[in-house]
Amino acid sequence: MIDNLTAKDLLVFKIQLFIILFLVLTTFGFNVQTVFAQNTAADHFDEFCADCHSIGEGDMKGPDLLGVEQKYSEDWLVKFIHSSKTLINSGDPKAVATFEKYKKQNMPDTDLSVSEIRALIAYIKSFNKNTAKKPSITNDSLDVSNIKEIKSVIQATVEEALEARQYNERLGSIEKKLDVLLQYNRKSLSARITDEEIEKGRKLFEGIIPFTGNVPACVTCHNTFKIDTLNWNPSAFDIATAFSQRNDADITSLIINPVSNKMKAVLNGHRLADYEAFYITAYLQSIERTGLIEYKKLPVKLLVFIGLCLVMMFSLIDLMFTKIIKLKLVNIFIFIVTGILISNTIYINAANIGLSQNYAPDQPIKFSHEIHVKENKIECLFCHNGPEFSRESGIPSTNVCMICHNKIRTGERTGQFEINKIVKTFENKIPIEWIKVHNLPDHVFFSHAQHVSVGKIECRTCHGDIDEMHITRQVSTLSMGWCVNCHRESKVQFEENKFYSEHQELHDDLKSGKIRMVTADKIGANDCQTCHY
Amino acid sequence: MKKYWRSIEEKDDQPGSNDDEKMDESKKEFFEEMSNDLSSGTSVTRRDFLKVWGYSITAATLVASCESRVNKAIPFLIKPEEVISGIANYYASSYVDGNEYCSILVKTREGRPIKIEGNVKSGVTKGGTNARVQASILSLYDESERIKGPLHNNNKTTWENIDENVTPLLQSINAKNGKIVILSSTIISPSTKNVYKDFIKTYPNTRIIYYDAISASGILMANKNSFDQMVIPAYRFERADIIVSFGADFLGTWLSPIEFTRLYVQNRKLDGKKNMSRHIQFETGLSLTGSNADERFPIKPSEEEIMLVNLYNELLQISGNSTDIVSSSPNNIKRLANDLWSIRGKSLVLSGSNDVNIQILVNAINVLLENYGKTIDLSTPLYIKQGIDREMEDLVRDMEENKIDALIINNVNPAYDYPESDKFVNGLANLILSISFSGTIDETTSLVNYVCPDNHYLESWNDVEPRKGFFSLVQPTINPLFDTRASQESLLKWAGKDIGFFDYIQQHWENNIYPLQDEFTSKESGFKFFWIKSLQNGVFEINSPAAAEIHHKFNASVVQPAINELVSQKTDNADKIELQLVENIGVGNGKHANNPWLQELPDPISKVCWDNYVSVSPRHAAELGVENGDVVIVSSTLEQIELPVLLQPGQAYKTISIPLGYGRKNAGKVGNNIGKNAFRFCKIKDGNIQYKNDIKLIKTNKKHLLALTQTYNSMLGRPIVRETTLDQYIRNPSSGNEMHEKQQKGSVSLYKSPVHIGNHWGLSIDLNACTGCSACSIACQAENNIPVIGKEEVRKRRIMHWMRIDRYYSDSVDNPQVYHIPIMCQHCANAPCENVCPVAATMHSHDGLNHQSYNRCIGTRYCMSNCPYKVRRFNWYAYTEAEKMDSYLNSDYGRMVLNPDVIVRSRGVAEKCSLCIQRIQESETKAKLENRLLNEDEIQPACMQSCPANAILFGNLKNENSNIAKKFKDERNYHLLEEIHVLPSVGYLLKVRNQPYGRT
Amino acid sequence: MYNTAIRGPLIKGDKTIHQITEEICQPIDRRPGYWWYFVFLLCLGALIYGGWAVYITVHEGIGTWGLNNSVTWGWCIINFVWWIGIGHAGTAFSIFLLVLEQKWRTSINRAAELMTVVAVICAVHFPILHIGRLWDGFFILPYPNTRGPLWLNFNSPLFWDVLAICTYFMASSLFWYVGMIPDLATIRDRTTSKIKRAIYGFLCFGWIGSSRDWFRYEKLSWIIGGLTAALVVSVHSIVAMDFATSVLPGWHTTIFPPYFVVGAILSGFAMVLTLMIIIRKVYKLNDYITDSHLNAICKILVFISLIMGTAYSTELFMAWYSNNEYEMFTFFHNRVTGEYNTAFWIMLISNAILPQLFWFKKIRKKLAIVFIISLCINIGMWFERYVIVITSLTKDYFPSNWADYRPTTVEVGLFTGTFGFFVLCILLFFKYLPMISLYEVKGVSKYKSN
């Protein structure tokens, strides 16, 4: 995009870049050290605002209020909080913009007094008081004296733009360019962070260097590499991506002054130093780009296999040529045993090709069946409503999650972090991309309805103790042999279901005691096109 | 939003992913599943694609070698209530495309329509469909044919631009009293007609002209002259005992074939009764209808008139009204006249001609035979063809003379199919404004100023009245795939009415149709319930039996002038070669030329696909010295084309027939340049387009290999299609089928006889009902994801249809008897294919089906060699890939038509009819869930469902009382190749012909 | 000298044992002539053409062949059966003549056995490439699996085929190789090159020619020979079953197994004859492959061809006698008088009538005519398979299914490729291995009897 710009455009760009840099940096430097002991304000916030707003935890129904006092004037905020409708109806551009942005949901009017509202704003403000700053980057790139000049140039450009015939198009393109500029700005900011600082951040995060304030290392809760055990806390990558849309002041400040109860408890009143928070932020930014580290596991099985092959070979060589071991039987014995082991390994591994028993992938959201099914006693069919009548069990749509999570916003183990993900996807209208655990090949047609509703087979017969799984895992092999053997053994609801009354011979056999029960394969469950068509 | 990425490269490649985010959120869900190249030019550059591609290949190889692929499961954000994944929804709608109509149910899965079924609630089509209706689902997804957004002078534009430009233009034309013409295909939608009226209110200088590519204006004008009613009457084939048709292919292409087939078959099936109608056909080329006739007489097109005059005079003489005979008529006419007279009021005489005089004569004959009010019903006329050719002729002249200012073209393609298309094209250049509503590219859209693409009918709201008093609704089953807009909405917008067409229809129904019924009367919610019920049924029909009794006065004075004119025109044509232009079942008038299913549907008679050709009678061909595939030059005074010859038994001597609808130049990647356009051979006589002409034939030395699916036409005396005559059948119900009993008795086996548990599925096919219309072939193709393979592969005899219709001739080459027999897998109990497959990929099921598991098949083709019926098909290539067949399976849109319940077979796998196992399983599961026995007619394979003739019956042979068991016990029942003791589960009821005078 | 009253000496020229060794090993020591290189290149060309055909088949699919929905088996099955038939000769020669104590086989059996092995390799290519999904071809092997387990269809002759051919290939190659061991040792002992000595030394498993070696060796030969004898009969009967178990007119006959075995022997012997005449000419081995050798083969051919004639007439008779219209059509219309009558008559004349000329001693003496007739039999036997496979498939029960078949360049390429491979292997054999069994010839030579 940059390539297509004319020289003049580029000049305007640069100027705009400066302005934005200036704005951003001054915001950083805006350290208002006002401390309020505002218990009432906090109560008010919980009572009136917390349903729709968070401070520093992302947008909910309404906007995240962190830093709201910098965006709007206090008077405006008072008016808005008092009665947003009036303000919107009066046509205030800012109010209308906010209204439009948040899907035209009206904020309910409050009957708080002006002073109470002010206290509320101050409370919100108090979250934003300690923004991280890196002293070295404050003003060095910006020549403040030039501002007047820049302003005048911009003025001229804008006027020119206004005069232009394609007024709208022009404005649109300027907006786009601004977007690009903003990105450059962000990039240039992150570019300032040196590898050294990231490395320091990593060491701090992983606890190689201890924090000054007797704070436990981040890595105790937030892992930096992929693990296959469960960690309820968000990983470093999770955190990084969750905050990636905000400017880094927020992360830094949140690290220093956490809002979540869990973090508060962990920190236990201690605080991180500003520079430590900065390093951590830097590290998080880098991990957002690189992703979590994945440690390669030692291929133990392969090594054992190679070892066995070697032993077998040596025993053979010795048997034929070197003859170190005098007793031939020993060599023969070794040869036979290793031979059996090797062929067994090959057989087992070959048989498992294409099967994925115990597959338990990382899901985008740490959804635990144990919490939902065992602890909260939710029926399987409440969420998976397909199996009763459809071939597919169906992965619940997000609105099903929202039935409960509209209200329940905090989890016992994960806090708000994971639940917020659902809420966010719901609000942003982006479906969740779950990783499919039970993958049947394309050429297999399996009907849940047939098994669940007709065959009266428990979910757990195939899916195992899913109510004890924090991470959903494939319990069965889902191989054809597994299906077929189950068909050979399981009893059909033969006398109960009127559908089968047509199978006269089998009914006769049952009555005469010739057969004890009717298994599925007797009525064609093992025919080819029962599953493959 | 938490963003996942597959590789570092992709992550760092911000621009791509950023654009993704900017994409309209509503589309996102959809686009997620589609490949990148769809969002052309926006997000993914070639380089990115290569990166991802390279990555995915390495990843695939790495991962495939040790771990399974990661599959994502992306649920709905908010699940629509009616959509349950894995369960199909059916919506009642109507197939309406100019002058074709069919009431249908649209099967949708996960929100996309995948199959069309007949709607049994309709009083017109009664659940029948035909090949074109079945194939129309594919045209919904036809990326290469459909126009993806409005065009201005062939450049993309927006609807706002269109509206901003068109409205002022129309207004200015209107202001200076310029002429606006809406040139449309026949409109059978009451609401659309109302829209036109509204448009005329705003622009009073507008004229509406209906134009049908295959016109019926002869009938319309004749009825205007004889009864003062410009309509096409309803024909009651089921009430006629003798049907005499002069060139009307009413089972195949004439007027309303689905409806006619249903009615015709009612009096042809011998379910427990011992009488059937007698059908006599006089025609030039062998048509589908002619192939089903009991007696068929090949005549030259020019002889039709004189035959009718003779018949009329004979009848007059028998009735004692007249004594003079114009010329001595052949024996058969005399006999026919006597037979017709003896059953007055129970006969039907038809003519397919578009000549007013002939049609007046036909009317006179029917009046004489007292058929009006009995077998011909003028009170509930058919509305499906309303075009008057003379109006079109005038329009073209006016356009040439620069008398027209604006032309709005709806759903017609005169630049291709008007006989004088060059005049039309010249005229188009003179217009100030030309607009086309065509949703698909065609020869006309490329010549107009504005193209305002209409929705596909599966995306639209509409209503239809194909016959008086029979209303039916069209409802959308998917959101418009492309940036299209209903033509009615465009017109309303230009007329200054700001109302959606859906609301418009509702208003229209509330005001005009709701009062016609008395079921729902509540003032507040009556209409609501009425609307919902009509929508659910798809149809609303007025029951007014009294209406049928209305008698129409026949204006006898027009008959004699017509006869005089016909006789005076009669010239000595004996030496001339006469050309007859016909439609075929698949491609029809060429509108659906881009539909690969229809292109690959073998013509039921000639068995040619992917081409048109010159049908020549074998005797004539011998005289000309031409053979099958020799290219000849056909020339008239106006046109000259080169086409290959097909020797067609039954073609009248010294006549040729050429199918219309081929030779499209701008139809899309499938239909372009297939065959030659023969429309320009039509001649305009007395204002009506005549589909015949005198031509010259010149032999060339060129050869052209036709894509035939059957090259041997004789049964060689083998008992493949068994037959008898009605007389013999009445005397001995098992006549013609004597060997069945013998073979049943003689059938002894050393092996254990097969045991079936629970059910034994079987199929019974009534050869007396089957007309060979091939709807089942296409229905099967749609249901079972059967690939299209293209002309070259068909030539190699590799067609994939699981359901094929074999056609045999017997008797003389000049006028053969024709047999149609649908053949699919016979599901033998002793299946020869089963014991030879080395990997046990084909096995017998407990319920009598022959199962084929594609994933086990390694493609030794032993089963295919050993199948005595040769019903197995082999995937010689990967037909789903572009390299072999560039039609629809390689496009993301095209693949949406695939049935998710049936796997797409890979290369190197044998496949065959499964008796729609997916439907059997679905119904069985449903019955089990509802804790009940299966209902008799609950399971309907796609072929049975689509059959307009009800010739196919599926059922449980084990149940002694089932309909199918009864059919199997019928004396007419036999199996194919009974003598080799493979014990098929498919039975055929032998063919009975009503030939009281024997074979003529 | 091994001498019988009727036949006279088996080897001419009063050769000493050393002379025999020298003469037979001569081609191994010498550089081959230009003709050898020329033929070698020719075969290489054919092989490349075949390789291209294999690539096209595997890459694009069986669609590149001329097959269609009705004729689903074409050239490849014809060629498969033909090669398998040829693959019969060597083993049949060795075993049957061994059992019948026909000592004259000694100068021929080595080359004949090699022919067997190579021909079987050629033959096996076809059914493998013929599979639509080559990559899933292992489904045809019975191995434990997690599909239930899902076994094969043990009723299918095609499965028996796989087993029979695999076993036959193993047994016959073993038989051939074992027979060669003492000769390999001879070459090892003669050669001066160290590399050659090492290679041949390895190949002959350290044969030292002790009496224990000979004792064991003979036992082994007898065991393998005995086992293979049964296989010779079984393998082609099973190939015949592929056709005989089907329901198609023209295939569905019980005469097929014996008829196929005899046909195979006919084609095999004819091929041996062809090859022997060439070898004799090119390597000037008139003393070893004597006129009486060829004479004997000719006499056998007369007999076998009579059986073939009987089989053909039986088929026709049965078709007529059954009065089954489909059979009648296939045999009398389609084969004898119909579109494929050329193939039928070529088959009949070259397999049943031409060999009858061998009744005449004059003709048996004229090598050129013998050579031509032997070639004719080979061609005729190819056409026999053509008649069986193609005529039955192109026109079976329903005329609507009738379709023509024409091979494509790819199919021709596959056949040419196997031809190239066959001749190439034989050329290499001439160059590197003794083409006549040294020790056995010595056994029947003059000095042995002395």
Q: Structural domain of residue B404, as residue ranges? A: 151-214+387-537
With an 8 Å Cβ cutoff, are C131 and B908 in contact?
A: yes
Neighbors of chain B by Cβ distance (3+ pairs < 8 Å): A, C
pLDDT at A131: 43
> Which token pair is A181?
């500029």
Contact C329, C249 (CB under 8 A): yes
With an 8 Å Cβ cutoff, are A480 and C150 in contact?
A: yes
The helix (run of H) or strand (run of E) holding residue A87 is helix A84-89
Q: Shortest Cα distance from A222 to chain B (angstroms)?
A: 17
| Exposure of B219 in the CB half-sphere (CA atoms within 13 A) | 23
The beta strand positions in B769-816, using DSSP E, are 804-810
With an 8 Å Cβ cutoff, are B918 and A445 in contact?
A: yes
Cis preceding linkage at B822, omega within 30: no
Question: Alpha carbon of C8 to those of A418, B173, C291, C444, C446: distances in Å?
Answer: 101, 117, 11, 12, 12
CA distance B508 to B196: 13
CA distance B514 to B521: 9
Among C139, C396, C402, whose Cβ lies nearest the Cβ of B856? Answer: C139
> Which amino acid is located at C376 in the chain?
C
Q: What is the pLDDT along chain A (533 residues), one digit of tens a residue?
A: 444 445 555 555 556 655 655 554 444 444 333 333 345 666 777 767 777 777 766 676 677 777 777 777 777 777 777 777 777 777 777 777 777 777 666 777 777 777 777 777 777 776 664 444 343 333 344 444 455 565 566 666 666 655 655 556 666 666 666 665 555 444 445 556 677 878 888 888 888 888 777 777 888 888 887 776 778 888 888 887 777 655 545 677 777 777 777 777 777 777 777 778 778 888 887 887 777 777 777 788 889 999 999 999 999 888 877 778 888 888 899 999 999 999 998 888 888 877 888 888 888 888 889 889 988 889 888 888 888 888 888 888 888 888 888 888 888 787 788 888 888 888 888 888 898 888 888 889 999 999 998 988 988 899 999 888 888 889 998 889 999 999 999 888 888 888 888 888 888 888 888 888 889 888 888 888 889 98
With an 8 Å Cβ cutoff, are C158 and B908 in contact?
A: no
B-contacting residues in A 451-470 (Cβ below 8 Å): 453-454
> Which token pair is A259?
């809002």
Tens of pLDDT, residue by residue over A221-276, are 888 877 767 788 888 888 877 776 555 456 777 777 777 777 777 777 777 777 78
Among B861, B868, B876, whose Cβ lies nearest the Cβ of C396? Answer: B868
3-state secondary structure of B227: helix
With an 8 Å Cβ cutoff, are C147 and A479 in contact?
A: yes
With an 8 Å Cβ cutoff, are B757 and A523 in contact?
A: yes
CA distance B43 to B18: 9
Q: Does A406 touch chain C (CB under 8 A)?
A: no
- Residues in chain C closer than 8 A to B868 (CB atoms): 247-248, 396-397
Residue to substitute from C146, C147, C153, interface A, most A β-carbons within 10 A: C146
B850-852/B842-844 β-pairing: antiparallel
Say if B507 falls within a structural domain.
yes
Tens of pLDDT, residue by residue over C152-199, are 899 899 999 999 999 989 888 888 888 888 888 888 888 888 888 888
Residue where the block lists tokens 């089509």: B125
Q: Shortest Cα distance from A353 to chain C (angstroms)?
A: 10
Question: Alpha carbon of B740 to those of A270, B726, B769: distances in Å?
Answer: 98, 19, 20
CA distance A479 to B252: 50
A-contacting residues in C 117-156 (Cβ below 8 Å): 144-150
Residue where the block lists tokens 């008010």: A44
With an 8 Å Cβ cutoff, are A484 and C147 in contact?
A: yes
Residues 6+ positions from A467 with CB-CB distance below 8 Å = A369, A370, A373, A374, A460
Say if B223 falls within a structural domain.
no
Longest dimension (CA), chain B: 98
Where are the alpha helices (H) located in A167-210, listed in sequence order? 167-192, 195-206
Give the CATH fold of the C3-449 domain: Formate dehydrogenase/DMSO reductase fold (1.20.1630)
Residues 6+ positions from B774 with CB-CB distance below 8 Å = B131, B585, B586, B601, B602, B604, B805
- Residues in chain C closer than 8 A to B906 (CB atoms): 133
Q: Does C397 touch chain B (CB under 8 A)?
A: yes
Give the CATH fold of the A195-290 domain: Cytochrome Bc1 Complex; Chain D, domain 2 (1.10.760)
Residues 6+ positions from C228 with CB-CB distance below 8 Å = C91, C95, C168, C171, C172, C175
Tens of pLDDT, residue by residue over B552-562, are 688 888 888 88
Which of B306, B338, B369 delimits the end of a domain? B369
Q: For residues B254 and B298, state if they share a domain.
A: yes
Q: Does B749 touch chain C (CB under 8 A)?
A: no
Which of B521, B537, B553 delimits the end of a domain? B537
Residues 6+ positions from B503 with CB-CB distance below 8 Å = none
- Residues in chain C closer than 8 A to B717 (CB atoms): 325
What residues does each domain of chain C span? 3-449
With an 8 Å Cβ cutoff, are C146 and A482 in contact?
A: yes
Contact A135, A99 (CB under 8 A): no
Q: Does A485 touch chain C (CB under 8 A)?
A: yes
With an 8 Å Cβ cutoff, are C152 and B711 in contact?
A: no
Contacts A–B by Cβ distance under 8 A: 188
Q: For residues B457 and B362, state if they share a domain.
A: no
Residue where the block lists tokens 């947003």: A84
Residue to substitute from C80, C133, C139, C146, interface B, most B β-carbons within 10 A: C133
| B949 φ, ψ (degrees, to nearest 5) | -100, 0
Q: What is the DSSP string of B869-929?
A: T---EE--S-TTSTTT--SSTTSTTGGGGS-TTSPPP-TT-EE---SSHHHHHHHHHHHHH
Tens of pLDDT, residue by residue over A127-149, are 664 444 343 333 344 444 455 56
| B843 φ, ψ (degrees, to nearest 5) | -140, 160
The helix (run of H) or strand (run of E) holding residue A153 is helix A147-163
Contact C111, C441 (CB under 8 A): no
CA distance C271 to C98: 19
Is residue B17 pLDDT above 50, yes or no? no
With an 8 Å Cβ cutoff, are B910 and C132 in contact?
A: yes
Q: Does A384 touch chain B (CB under 8 A)?
A: no
Q: Does C408 touch chain B (CB under 8 A)?
A: no
Neighbors of chain C by Cβ distance (3+ pairs < 8 Å): A, B
Tens of pLDDT, residue by residue over B368-425, are 998 988 899 888 889 999 999 999 999 999 999 988 999 999 999 999 999 988 999 9
Superfamily grouping for domain A39-126? Cytochrome c-like domain (1.10.760.10)
pLDDT at B415: 92
The beta strand positions in B757-813, using DSSP E, are 761-766, 804-810
Residues 6+ positions from B636 with CB-CB distance below 8 Å = B579, B681, B683, B693, B694, B695, B696
For residue B281, list its beta bridge partners: B245, B296
B-contacting residues in A 272-301 (Cβ below 8 Å): 289-291
Please report the ipTM that was assigned to this predicted complex: 0.83
3-state secondary structure of B833: coil
Q: Shortest Cα distance from B753 to chain C (angstroms)?
A: 17
**What would you report as the CA-atom Rg of chain B, rounded to the nearest whole angstrom?**
29
Distance between terminal CA atoms of chain A?
51
Distance between terminal CA atoms of chain B?
81
Q: For residues B326 and B418, state if they share a domain.
A: no
With an 8 Å Cβ cutoff, are A502 and B759 in contact?
A: yes
With an 8 Å Cβ cutoff, are B902 and A533 in contact?
A: yes
CA distance A132 to B716: 96
Say if B768 falls within a structural domain.
yes
> Which amino acid is located at B566 in the chain?
L
- Residues in chain A closer than 8 A to B78 (CB atoms): 397-399
Structurally, how many domains does chain B consist of?
A: 5
Q: What is the DSSP letter of C331?
A: I
Q: Which residue of A has its CA nearest to B921?
A: A530
CA distance C94 to C151: 37
Contact C407, C57 (CB under 8 A): no
Among B715, B717, B836, whose Cβ lies nearest the Cβ of C156? Answer: B836
Closest listed residue to residue B381, CA positions, set B246, B227, B534:
B227
With an 8 Å Cβ cutoff, are A430 and B928 in contact?
A: no
With an 8 Å Cβ cutoff, are B873 and C69 in contact?
A: yes
Closest listed residue to residue A399, CA positions, set A377, A434, A431:
A431
A324-333, B6-15, B435-444, B518-527, range with the lowest pLDDT? B6-15
- Residue C449: exposure state from Cβ atoms within 10 A (0-12, 13-18, ≥19): exposed
Q: Does C322 touch chain B (CB under 8 A)?
A: no
Among C130, C242, C401, whose Cβ lies nearest the Cβ of B870? Answer: C401
Q: For residues B455 and B360, state if they share a domain.
A: no
Q: Tell me what the mean pLDDT of segment C413-428 comes to.
A: 93
- Residues in chain B closer than 8 A to A532 (CB atoms): 853-856, 903
CA distance A163 to A157: 10
pLDDT at B572: 67
Q: For residues B663 and B728, state if they share a domain.
A: no
pLDDT at B145: 87
Q: Shortest Cα distance from B152 to chain C (angstroms)?
A: 44
The helix (run of H) or strand (run of E) holding residue B945 is helix B942-946
Contact A274, A256 (CB under 8 A): yes
> Which token pair is A528?
């080819």
Q: What is the DSSP letter of C61?
A: -
- Residues in chain A closer than 8 A to B845 (CB atoms): 524, 527-530
Q: Shortest Cα distance from A110 to chain B (angstroms)?
A: 31
Residue to substitute from B839, B844, B977, interface C, most C β-carbons within 10 A: B839
Q: What is the DSSP letter of C287?
A: T
With an 8 Å Cβ cutoff, are A347 and C144 in contact?
A: yes
B-contacting residues in A 220-259 (Cβ below 8 Å): 238, 241-242, 245
Q: At what angle do helices C109-130 and C157-190 cross, to 10 degrees?
A: 140
3-state secondary structure of B39: coil
Contact A531, A446 (CB under 8 A): yes
With an 8 Å Cβ cutoff, are B86 and A386 in contact?
A: yes
CATH of the domain at B624: 2.40.40.20
> Which token pair is C338?
């119909």
Question: Alpha carbon of A336 to those of A316, A322, A340: distances in Å?
Answer: 10, 19, 6
For residue B235, list its beta bridge partners: B376
Among C63, C133, C325, whose Cβ lies nearest the Cβ of B858? Answer: C133
pLDDT at B671: 87
pLDDT at A84: 75
B-contacting residues in C 236-275 (Cβ below 8 Å): 242, 245-248
